[in-house]
Structure formats: structure tokens, C-alpha cells
Structure 1
Amino acid sequence: INFYESETWRLNADGTTTKLELPLKSSINALVAGQLVVTTDQDWTAPSGQQFKTGDVIAWDLQAWLADPKAPARLVIRPGEREAVEGINATRNKLVVALYENVRGSVYVYNPADWSRTRLDLPQNVSVGVGSASEQDDKIFVSVTGYLNPSSLYLADAATGAVDLTKALPDKFDASGMRVDQFEARSTDGTMIPYFVVHKDAMAMDGSNPTLLYGYGGFQSSLLPGYSPTVGKLWLERGGVYVIANTRGGGEFGPKWHQAAQQENRQRAHEDFQAVAQDLITRGITSQPHLGVMGGSQGGLFMGAMLTQRPDLINAAVIQVPLFDMLRFHKLLAGASWIGEYGDPDIPEQRAWIEQYSPYQKLAAGQPYPEVFIHTSTKDDRVHPGHARKAAARMEALGYPVLFYENTDGGHAAGANLRETARRIALEYTYLTRRLMDQPAQR
């Protein structure tokens, strides 16, 4: 129906179709032991009269439900305030769920007989994913990765709980003497925003650490712990601090965390990101001359909002394939499909929300903007390169120094092959090194 809503129809044996009584915002996850498992992304009153909440995982006896849409459902999972279901799969007899608790992954096995659960014995403080599952028995692959942990693949037996390491990628940087901490920052409306800090154990808390803050904050896309050889080799090994902000707009705590920053509430996500930047400075992890930000696509909009709203906090900004002119985003390439996320600029009431934060319209003379690095791709078929070009042109017209790079190939990834990607990454980290490590006082 639109970006977030859909109808589900059953194809009957005689070729006719029957509409299933499911929420418009929902997903069918699995069929296990005759139970149809569904996640709802909205509060919902079922035909049975049962009340379900956004993020609930529910199950019906499929045959009973098809015979009578008012057949009662069972509640399988109701995530808490700081929990989110990130993946569901089924083996022959079990339901296997990747559940995140305060942005830290665990894998649980649910028994369809009574929906009791057990937890698999996996590494802690990591991201987890449920992969391919057997239809013949209860074996399932589970992936594990973390900021300091290369991607690993485990084979689990959901029936017994046994877990065996099958394969792990080699280390791509020296993580010895490094650690991961998690802190929280208080946003403008009082909401606590978690963020991860990856750093060497010997980090001084005197504001001197060159720090790169990354964010995205949209489309229910979660920023979960993950291994980045690039960040490790080009930043962490050289003494840099890497920070990931889990702002609203993402899916870290389920659909409500995302929906809290949709439409008229988009500015909340920007305030969350800015609160993390301020908290890093307050804690003494870094300071304005040493703090840079990075984000792409929707994250590029984040960077634009940081630049135009709180330039006093940062000394560098890598703005990747960005959304920037939010009053025209819906007229370019795939932009119309994102009206469900941002609103429609052609509707006056919604235009009023958007123009309050649209970075292109907010650029102004006489501001303490650092020299920014903006890049895009001529062949970006998702976010039009015009956003990045206009941002750079407008800043130059206002008298600001701008670094701009446009790759002719590569689409929305801004690199068509490893050579082009390596060049782009080298440009980014050279810029960050000069701004935050070599000449920290330069604006």
C-alpha cells in the first residue's frame, strides 16, 4: 500500500484469493509446528478482540485461524522498553529469535508447545543473526560479530542447545589493548540515548582524543555492533576513538523507537545525535577541535542537521551521498517512496515540519562551520547526486571552504569496485586525520 503498510492475501486451491486479517504494519515470520508466527509493527485489536502492542510477536494455530479469523492468538514475545526483535527463523520444531537487549544481541530458542524459551551460549556484547535453518531437524546457523570481533558462523542445535564454531574470519586489525564501552546521553526531551565507544584501554579523559561519531537514525535501521577492518586499521589502531549513536529513528528498540522520530518528530533524531556529541565532550572523551561526524544517505541528512544546528560541537563532517534539500527530496529518483518516513513537502502542514530542519535551506553566512567533506556518485540511483552538489555549491556561495568528491560510478555505494571504494575511504580518513589529529585547532 505504501512504504510501511501492506495487505496479505491467501491464494486458495481453486485459484481464488482471501484477504488475511492481519495488521497493515506486520510481517509473517515463520510457520513452525503448525503455528503461524507474525510480528506487528502497530498497536492492533485482533478479530478475536485481543489487544496487541507494537513490536509484539504473536502466533496462531494456522488451520484454526484460517477456518475462523476470530480464533485466539498466543503472545510469543512482547519486547521490553530496551529490547527489539531483529531476526526470526524456524527449524523443523523450534522458533529461533535474535533478540537485542539494550543493543546487545542474544539468540533464544522458543518451544511452540508452550512458547517457553532457552538462551544459546554465545559471546556477549555482540551482534547476532539467525541464518539458514534446516527443515529436516533443528540445526540452524547463527552469525556473531562485534566491534572487536571478526564475523563468525556457529552451527546451533535448537533442540539440545549445543553450539559449535564453524568458521571465523581472520583479524584484520590489532584489537589488543582495546575495549568497547556503552554510555547514555540525555536528549532534549529527556530520552536516554545509548551509544557505544570503541577505544584503546589507555584513553585519556581530558578531551584530547580524536573521535569519530557515526549515526544514521532512520527507516527502523539499527546500528548494531559490527566489525569494520577499515575503522580498525585506519582509525582505532592510530589512536582514534570510534562512537556509534543509537538514536531514535532506528530500530534498536523496536518499531516505537523508529516511529518516535518519524514525520513531524524527525527533529528528535537530530537532537539525539547532537546530545551524544555533547555528552562525549562533557565526559572528557573528546572536545570540539577533536570531534568529527560521519553519515551517509539518511545519515547524510543527520550530518547536515548537525552542521546547520550545532556546528559549535564539531571540527569535521563527512557527508556521504546525502539527503540535503528536504523540500524537494520527493521529486528526485526514489524520494517519493520516503514520504512515509519524512512527510510530504507538497502538503503545507507537513512542509512546515520539514523546513524547520532541512539543511539546504538552513545554510547561512557567518556560522562556525568546519571545512566539510561531501561526496556522492554521478550514478547514484537512490539519493540524487543533486543533493550533494547543491550543498557544496551553496556553501561555496556563502564563502565556506568545501571538499567535494563525485565518483562517476558506483551508485548509492559511491564506489563501483574495491579500487574505487578504497580511494573514497582513503580520502575520508585523510581528511579526518588532518582535521582531528594533525591540526586539531583548525576550523
Structure 2
Amino acid sequence: MRGAFLNSFMMAIALATVITMAASAQPRMTTVAKAIDSNPNKAPKDAADPRAYLNEIDGDKAMTWVKAHNVSTVSKLSKDQRYSEYQADILKILQATDRIASPGFAHGGMIDNFWQDGTHVQGLWRRTTWESYRSGKPQWRTILDVDALSKAEGTTWVFEGEDCLPPANNLCLISLSDGGKDADVVREFDVAKGEFVKEGFVLPEGKQSVTWVDENTMYVTREWTPGEVTASGYAYVTKVLKRSQSLDQAVEIFRGDKKHVSAARRVLRDIAGKYVMDTSYRALDFFNTEQGFYPNGRTDTHKVVLPLPTTATFSGYYKGQAIYQLKSDWTSAKGTVFHNGAIIAFDLKAALADPAHVEPLVLFMPDEHQSVEGTTQTKNRLVLSILSNVTSELRSFDFGKGGWSSFKLALPQNSTLSLTSSDDESDHLFVFSEGFLESSSLFCADAASGKVEMIKSTPERFDAEGLQVQQFWATSKDGTKVPYFLVAPKDLKLDGTNPTILYAYGGFEIPMQPSYSASLGMLWLEKGGAYALANIRGGGEFGPKWHEAGLKTHRQRVYDDFQAVAQDLIAKKLTSPPHLGIMGGSNGGLLMGVQLTERPDLWNAVVIRVPLLDMVNFTHMSAGASWQGEYGDPDDPVEGAFLRSISPYHNVRAGVAYPEPFFETSTKDDRVGPVHARKMAALFEDMGLPFYYYENVEGGHAAAANLQEHARRYALEYTYMSQKLMDNK
């Protein structure tokens, strides 16, 4: 619960990031691909890869290519006067001092915040009292100045969060990333003194996880010897590290399997921070995990695995009850059928004493248009975040002598609710509410009494007068109804000429919800553009089944859903291909790449950010091996054939008129990696096809590490979209 303020800040940036596009108007003037031998779809299997040099992330030849294309892209787009205007307007919004300082509960009734602005580019971790925060003019005490640290050490540090030792929460393990990579450095920090602990715990850079055992002990899971990682690049060996010990003195306590995604041993505590028992996990793939419990203490090597499906997610420990979310149907020893999507609970210690006879209670069972986004706890309550037809509600649960009871918190309806932080020492929650046309409002809710108080609202950043939000349903190729939101002027002319942005994600059970984007509103909606958000299969809008419908060889359904929404927009005469632009990132970048190669006739502009694009070789690129549970195994005859059939990098064809795409990535992205985007752009280059390419040298998988970098990227994207989609209207 504590430390959630940083996650909420990064989530807000991510949500703002996904909503950045547009659409256009004249017949497409696109260069036709010319056949060359280096097309990976035509080259012999034993042919040398002409773009292999781009695999070397920081290689001189690769970076020369990157810098040349960065210069070309910025040079072309910055000649448009809108580029500097967009950058200034967006940066002003991002750095506005009247933004809500996203709060996180800290020990002793204090409030934490992570803040970035024009002066504090890398950010401040700071703290104030609840009374001061509530006053609207908080007096902040700086805990850590990341800009000052970066300057002193000559490294662009990105603050990735903290793990503080309960119950005092004074000693914290700070995670710092060089440029935004997933790999981080961990250092021990004294909050009261506002300084790193002299001769304290320090872990060098790596993709690692750490957990406090006590003041002088922690469990560390990392790459202890070179190559001791899974095929996905994650650690699987946990050792006990004592204070003042060097890494080579740590003692192994748990080992997973190199063939799995990751593994670790951890500590389970109750809400007050009291030690309960050790736990462990082995991530068999991205969606299947073996959860182990060690009920007999820290030195216990006897592991108990409960007879639940490996898809079930351990979601919390509340008043002695284990909380799980089922992702597949399960039948108990008594023959009771528990359906996928259900939130179940049972006495953990009793279950560990007799694991063969676990018989849970169902706390919540979503219907076909609902899903549970997550669970959290306060001092006395368990809180579920629920989606119903892609709008949010929060429900508070209690467990006592009479069993389970619950009620719905009286927060705004028909909006997106984001639970920012929950308090271990009270029943308070911080919750943001927002919508496409409703700016963010911060509420403090009491999960026990149900009392809700609005703390602050963000000023409106654009004129929403005359705009409306509607929800429609498109029919996919197999007859499935797929919902989407449309934000557009009320008096929109249905003549097929409206510039329209279409965005989606469609993977990993992640739902797409309405959010307030000042950049979208000011630079697109105010100028007469329309925006559509598609809730396609593969996401988490309607629970596990909605996600599973798009797994592996069923993934074409995801792409069909997206195309169905586009065709519905066209059939309504809201827009037409010359006026339709699309955008997505990460898995959504793969979605965009597939749409570029499968249906180039439907779009006039495509922004492809931090994408997967080579689905034949993705398991050998960065953390790609961990996603086989989502995409399938390229080495499997059936799954491999399907992946090749949809792989954007392997399906660029000669003689096809493609819209001119914009590829974006980051050198420091060590999750998906920049190689996908580099090689796809280089293939376009080799085939004589026009494209834009921009690779931020920092930023990690978020493609930007600070507000200035976000503003520059937005300016590039909006200028590109405006040129492609609005100038010809």
C-alpha cells in the first residue's frame, strides 16, 4: 500500500502517453514497396541478416543509424511551426504547478508525493503532514532530490520507488534506474535523516527483487553469477544477505528453474507489518505461477503448495484469510465449482494444515460484463476495484464473526476510479476519478464508514463545451460484440471527413478505460478531431475469458476486433481511411504493426511505439521469452506458423501501398527493447518505403524518463498526425 504514490504518478503519465494521435483527409500518396532480397520473408533461412548490426543496443554502427534517423525525423517535423507550439503547450500542461500532487500514505499520518516540474526534472520524493496536504498549500519536506543526486553522480537517475521496513517504515530500499531501464540499483536510505545509510545495503545494477526480513537481513533475488538468469532474463535464485556482508557471502535459500520466467522467495506480513511466514513463487510462464508457503518459520524448507490452479493469483492476506482471484474454473475436493473471475477467500493457516480440503467462500463473482481490476487493504477493510461495462466502482469488504459483508463506496459513477494509495494505519483511501471530458478529482474515502470527501480537482485543461462521449458496439468477424468509446463534437457531420484517432491495447488482461488527457483535448479535440478507444479482446475489460479469447493462435480475433471498430466508424460515416489514424505502444505497438501490414488500406497514419514487431524471433529479444504464455512459442510448429503469419516484420510485401508509419522506441528499453522498431524501420528503408523514426536514448519502456522528454515526443507525434491527417481536411 505504501509507496503507491509513485506508481500512480507513472500510471498517470502512461495513460496520458497512450492518448496522442489524430486522422486526415486527402487520398493517400504512398510509395509502393519494391522487392529486395533482404526482405526477411523472402530471404533463405541460412541467409545473413543484413540488419544484424542493429541488434547491438549501444553498438557504434547501430547508434550512428539511430542518431541519423533521429536528426532526420526531428528536422522534418520541427520545420512545421506547430512542433514548437505543441511542445510548449504540452510542457506547460505537464509542468503546471496547479496539478494535483498525487498523494501516498506514509507512516504516522504523513503524506508522500513524487514531483517533477521544470526545475525538478528527475523529481523530488517529498513528505508533508495530512493537515498540511489537506489545506491545499502543503509545506513539503524533501526526502530525496533525484536531480541533485544525478548531478552529483553524473548519472540520469530515474526514481523507481521504495520498499520500507515496517512497522516504522524509516529504513527504505530505494530503487534507482539509469535512464529508466527495468534493471536498477538498490540502496538503503534513512528517511528520518534524509540520506543514504553509510555502509548500508547496496546492490549493483540488475533485474532484481529484494524484500526486508528484519533490520539486518533481506532476501535478494538477482543474477548472482553471469548467465544465472532465465531465458527471459530474470533472476531465479534467492539468497539471504546480512548487514555488512558482501554479495559473495550471501547464502542461498531458494532456487527456481532456469526454464521458467522468474522465481523468488519472499516475506508475507499482515497489515500491521508483522511477520506471518515466508512465501515463494515460480512463474512457470506469464500467467501460471506456483505459489509456495513456509508455515514453520524463516528457516523452514518445507514448502506447501495449495491445490489451486496455477492461474489463480494470490491477491492478499486479510485477517488470516488468503484472498485469491481465479483466472480459470476450479473444482474443490467437495465438488464445488468455482468459476473464473471469482474472488475467493479461505483461512490460510487451516488450509496449509490440510491443503487437500481447501473450501473457499466466494466474495465476488463478476458477470459477463464485469471484471475485478485489483484488491487492496486498509487497516480493517479489504477493497475490490471492479469494472462494469468499462466503468469503475469500489466495494469495501469486512470479515468478522458473522462472516463476510460488503458495501459500495459512494464515489462518482460512470467514471474511471484509480485507487492511488491505501493506509495501513487507518481505513482511508486516496482515489482519483476522471473521464474523457472530466478532469481528475481526488477523493479521500473511509472504507469502514463509507464517508467520501473530495480533496481537490485539477483545473480543466481544454474547452469541452460541445463535446460528448458515447459508447458503441462493433461486430467482429466471428460475431462478437466489441465495445468502444467515441469522443467527438455533438454536431459532428457524418460525411466521412472527420479526422479520427483510434487507440487500443488488446493484451495481457489489461483494460483500457476513459481518462482525462489535456494534450489530447487541447491539441486534438479542441481542433475538431474525434477520438475512439476500443475495448478489444485480449484486454481485461470483461475478465479472464475476454483475455483468453485472444491468446496465442486465437490472436487474430484481437486484430479482427480492432478492424471491426474501424469499419464501424467508417460505416457510420464518422470518418474514412484518409482521415483515420491509429496508435499503440508495447503490445499495442504490435497491434499497430499488424494493422499496418494486414490492413494498410484502412489507415492514413500509424504511430508504433516501443513495439514488438518480429514475432518469429521475439523470444530471443530482451524479455521476450516471458511472453510465450500470451503469444505462443515460435518453435512450436502450429504456434510458430501462426506467429509468422501475423509477424509485421515478416509480412511487409512488395507492391503494397503502406501509410507512412512513425516508429518510436527507447535505447534504454530493456523490456521489449529497441531492436524490433529499429529493424522494422530499417526494412522499410531497404525497401524504399518512407517512414519516421525516433529513438529516445533514455526513458526505458515508457519511452521517456521525465516531463521534457514526454513533451518532445508528444510534439513529434502530434505534428506528424496533424500533417498526415488534419492538413488536408
Instruction: Answer whether TM exceeds 0.5 for this pair.
Output: yes
Partner Cα distance (1:38, 1:276) in 2: 34
Q: Which residue of 2 aligns with 1:5?
A: 288
| Map 1:274-353 → 2, pairs under 5 A | 274-353=563-642
CA apart distance, 1:136 = 4.8
Tell me, yes or no, if structure 1 residue 60 matches structure 2 residue 346. Answer: yes
Question: Is the counterpart of residue 150 in structure 1 residue 433 in structure 2?
Answer: no
Counterpart amino acid of residue 95 in structure 1:
L
Q: Tell me how far 1:71 sits from its aligned partner.
A: 4.0
Task: Render the CA deviation track for 1:83-129: whole Å, top value 9, x for unaligned.
Answer: 00012123344332111111111112234345443222222222113
Greater RCO, CA 8 A, separation 6+:
2
Tell me how far 1:327 sits from its aligned partner. 0.4
Partner of 1:20: 305
- 2:699 is aligned to 410
Range with bigger deviation, 18-27 or 251-260: 18-27
Match of 1:79 among 355, 366, 369: 366
Offset at 1:168?
A: 2.7
**What amino acid does structure 1 have at the position aligned with 2:366?**
P
Preserved contact between residue 174 and residue 237 of structure 1 (Cα < 8 Å) = yes
SS of aligned partner of 2:432: strand
- The alpha carbon displacement at 1:34 in A equals 3.7
| Contact residue 89 and residue 131 of structure 1 kept, 8 A | no
Give the unaligned 5+ runs of structure 1: none
1:19-418, aligned counterparts within 5 Å?
19-21=304-306, 22-69=308-355, 70-112=357-399, 113-418=402-707
1:366-420: CA deviation from partner (whole Å, max 9, x where unpaired): 2231121112223322223221122222223333221222222222222333222
Deviates more, 1:161-170 or 1:299-308: 161-170
> 2:531 & 2:318 partners in 1: Cα distance?
41
Cα distance in 2 for residues equivalent to 1:200 and 1:37? 45
Instruction: State how far apart, in whole Å, the 1-side matches of 2:545 and 2:707 are.
Output: 37
Q: 1:351 to 1:102 in 2, by over 3 A?
A: same
| C-alpha distance in 1 between matches for 2:592 and 2:310 | 33
Aligned to 1:426: 715
- Compared CA separation, residues 93 and 420, structure 1 to 2 (3 A): closer
- SS of residue in 1 equivalent to 2:692: strand
Contact 2:294 2:304 in 1 (8 A): no
Render the CA deviation track for 1:328-357: whole Å, top value 9, x for unaligned: 111111111111111111222211111111
Once the two structures are TM-superposed, the CA of residue 39 in structure 1 deviates from its matched residue by 0.7
* 1:364–1:398 CA contact under 8 A, matched in 2: no
Report the TM-score when normalising by structure 1.
0.94
After TM superposition, the structure 1 stretch with the greater mean CA deviation from structure 2, 412-421 or 98-107, is 412-421
Structure-1 separation of matches of 2:317 and 2:432: 22
SS in 2 for 1:430: helix
Letter in 2 for 1:336: A
Distance 1:406 1:31 in 2: 43
CA contact (8 A) 1:320 1:375 kept: yes
Rounded Cα–Cα distance in structure 2 between residues aligned with 1:263 and 1:183: 27
AA of the residue aligned to 1:90: Q
| Matched-pair contact (CA < 8 Å) for 1:96–1:130 | no
In structure 1, C-alpha distance between the alignment counterparts of 2:548 and 2:363, rounded to whole Å: 22
The superposition leaves residues 273-304 of structure 1 with CA deviations (integer Å, 9 ceiling, x where unpaired) of 11111111111221111100001111111111
Give the match's secondary structure for 1:8: strand
Greater CA deviation, 1-10 or 137-146? 137-146
AA aligned to 1:106 is E
Give 1:137 deviation, angstroms: 4.6
Larger displacement relative to structure 2 (5-14 or 275-284): 5-14
Alpha-carbon distance between aligned partners in 1 of 2:702 and 2:370, rounded to the nearest angstrom: 30
Cα distance 1:334–1:71, how it changes in 2: closer, same or farther (>3 A)?
closer
TM-score (norm 2): 0.58
Q: Which one is further off, 29-38 or 56-65?
A: 29-38
- Please give the secondary structure, in 2, of the residue aligned with 1:435: helix
Shift of residue 218, structure 1, vs aligned partner: 1.0
Give the Å deviation of 1:44. Answer: 1.5
- Inter-partner Cα distance in structure 2 for 1:180 and 1:254: 24
Name the CA distance, whole Å, in 1 between partners of 2:319 and 2:688.
Answer: 66
For 1:233-268, what per-residue CA distance to the aligned partner results, in whole angstroms no more than 9, with x for missing partners? 211111111111111111111121111111111111
Query: Given that residues 179 and 201 in structure 1 are in contact (C-alpha distance below 8 angstroms), is that contact kept between their aligned partners in structure 2?
Result: yes
From the superposition, tell whether residues 387 and 71 of structure 1 become closer, same or farther in structure 2 (CA, over 3 Å).
Answer: closer
State the number of aligned residues: 440
CA RMSD of the aligned region, Å? 1.9
Gaps of 5+ in 2: 1-283
Amino acid of the structure 1 residue aligned with 2:504: G
406-415 or 205-214, which deviates more: 406-415
Amino acid at match of 1:368: A
Asked whether the equivalents of residues 32 and 92 of structure 1 are also in contact (C-alpha less than 8 Å), the reply is: no
Contact 1:324 1:359 in 2 (8 A): yes
Q: Distance in 2 between matches of 1:417 and 1:370?
A: 30
Distance 1:60 1:296, change over 3 A: same
Find the structure with the greater CA-based Rg: 2
Question: Partners of 2:674 and 2:641 in 1: how far apart?
Answer: 25
SS in 2 for 1:273: helix
Shift of 1:192: 0.8
- SS state at 2:684 partner: helix
Letter of the 2:479 partner, please give it. Answer: G
**SS of residue matched to 1:10:** strand
Aligned amino acid, residue 345 of structure 2: A
CA distance change for structure 1 residues 71 and 304 in 2, over 3 Å: closer, same or farther? closer
1:13-44 Cα shifts (integer Å, max 9, x gaps): 34323323132112222333443221111222
**Among the aligned pairs, what percent are the same residue?**
49
